[in-house]
Structure 1
């Protein structure tokens, strides 16, 4: 069965050079430099020969352009990333059928211009944004034009990637997160928090055609759906300084139903139980196959192999497997059905 891996990462060598030159985070420089399958695309193509039925939609690995540079520099960084990903797609279209544009989100006029260029001239099939923009929530009014342009002008989906740096401490008494908790546990939280801000800000009501693909199958939300449903149904009962009851009154649906409007990917480290939970929450129409390649202990193949194994282990119907592996992605990407 053909499969589209809709959320994996590359870092073209020109962008890697920018990271090495401009990043203030030595940890991320170390990680990206040492992960060959991220920037050696010929090696990636060779590795993918193990799975001739798999195609990959390319997204840029962190750091995003707005993290790497100030508002004057970040537009140029985004252009480098998008030009390089478009070149990879042009060279290996059968292996990489599409890429997702990165934007300089600390410069919204430039972000809109780069979105138009990447989609209109380079053929990008969507945009990628982080769960926060240098610590700012996505529901701030400044960022709305990006959601609006992607949804209403271009009709493309949005890939939402978690972002939380090691410098964001887990305890108020400390100055940084230890043991890489910031990434292992912090990223699913960041995804969940961003989803909540989008839901309660009313963005789905304002933009009913909005499509957002969440990494790691919706973060914490599917697993904590019962808690989210019952406690957010009482929104305002624990707050004296905000009139949250009016937020509930203006919502056309129960809060939990808005969370089901997101898409979730299968990036769960191959854990079939977690994937079952995600499928139960989102439904087969809103789950897409993805690997997070090459961020696994083997540097590329493990998450592809284990991701496929996790899907196959659930005893799904052929129809549902086809949706997860292929049909949902084709619809999101606006690509024709494949024979």
Structure 2
């Protein structure tokens, strides 16, 4: 059994409103999204899924982040529309969809908490999908503390997705990122910076019940373990006294690297077997969840699923480790009612 823990979709009513919305973030993605039939066409999606046998997906609303849709009231409306659509898909096709993670707009925390409560209690969401920043603001700002408290209390998954755009330049002297560097490298920096802020600001220490699922295998962290480990053990030694505020954070009870290992991560590495091997060695098989990022592959659906399954088959894992990655870990992370739904 395989539960794909990070897949994107556009429910029908949400898609209709999404394609009619005239804001820069939507204009930027409209053509790309329309070119991927599996985001909206269930027939196409299900035919792709049939290739993989006993296989189901945990779905969420495809990018962009809701905060990019305009005023907070509009963002909240799209969150509700998306979540009701996701819930309908799961209810109508339980053999295809193991559950969903709710969309939430964090530019109004009070509204976000209302949507989270509605999605968890009325719609049965398994968790939420958030992005690495909110209109450029880091998520360790104090205004987000009620969010972390609520999510930690819930015990639900918190999927973390990157959201840098070409408007974030590669060099200070420039105004735009070129060659999609913002995506290829920038998204992995996005995720890594998010994790670091959650560690050093004390979010993880204050709310140890948080169940973060970081996309793309934990991004840069496992591949830069020397910097995250002995490098950050020397935090502050590179910073002059006049800038000590830059390195003053929450007092951690152990090494920074120990906190980075508290995250759960997925296998959405696009077929990079050596990278996946490093991810599993760094986090351990009990912290890695099977996920493909479908349908954003060159085949527009099955390519990354097939590649990831092939990677996991090739790696030197025990059957127990492989099964934990495929379905055991995500089932264990869900609350009792949700874990039953997920199989």
TM interval, short-chain normalised: over 0.9
For the 8 Å contact 2:164–2:182, the answer to whether it is kept is: yes
Q: Which residue does 1:60 correspond to in 2?
A: 61
What is the aligned-residue RMSD (CA, Å)?
A: 1.5
Counting only pairs closer than 5 Å after superposition, residues 127-138 of structure 1 correspond to structure 2 as 127-138=128-139
- CA offset digits 1:229-283 (Å, max 9, x no partner): 12211111122212567647x2101001100000110000111100010011100
Q: Is residue 266 of structure 2 the alignment partner of residue 265 of structure 1?
A: yes
Counting only pairs closer than 5 Å after superposition, residues 1-339 of structure 1 correspond to structure 2 as 2-20=1-19, 21-25=21-25, 26-152=27-153, 154-240=154-240, 241-243=243-245, 247=249, 250-334=251-335, 335-336=339-340
Distance 1:316 1:134 in 2: 41
Aligned length: 336
Structure 1 spans left out of the alignment, 5+ residues = none
Distance 1:170 1:243 in 2: 25
Cα distance change on mapping 1:337 and 1:102 into 2, 3 Å: closer
Deviation at 1:157, TM superposition (A): 1.7
Structure 2 residue matching 1:251: 3-state secondary structure: coil
Structure 1 residue matching 2:222: 3-state secondary structure: coil
Distance 1:229 1:3 in 2: 33
Deviation at 1:313, TM superposition (A): 0.6
Distance 1:233 1:268 in 2: 28
For the 8 Å contact 2:155–2:334, the answer to whether it is kept is: no
TM-score scaled to structure 2, two decimals? 0.94
Cα distance change on mapping 1:224 and 1:332 into 2, 3 Å: same
Structure 2 residue matching 1:143: 3-state secondary structure: helix
Distance 2:147 2:42 in 1: 30
Distance 1:119 1:67 in 2: 24
Deviation at 1:332, TM superposition (A): 1.6
Structure 2 residue matching 1:101: 3-state secondary structure: strand
Distance 1:77 1:277 in 2: 38
Deviation at 1:35, TM superposition (A): 1.0
For the 8 Å contact 1:22–1:69, the answer to whether it is kept is: no
Structure 2 spans left out of the alignment, 5+ residues = none
TM-score scaled to structure 1, two decimals? 0.96
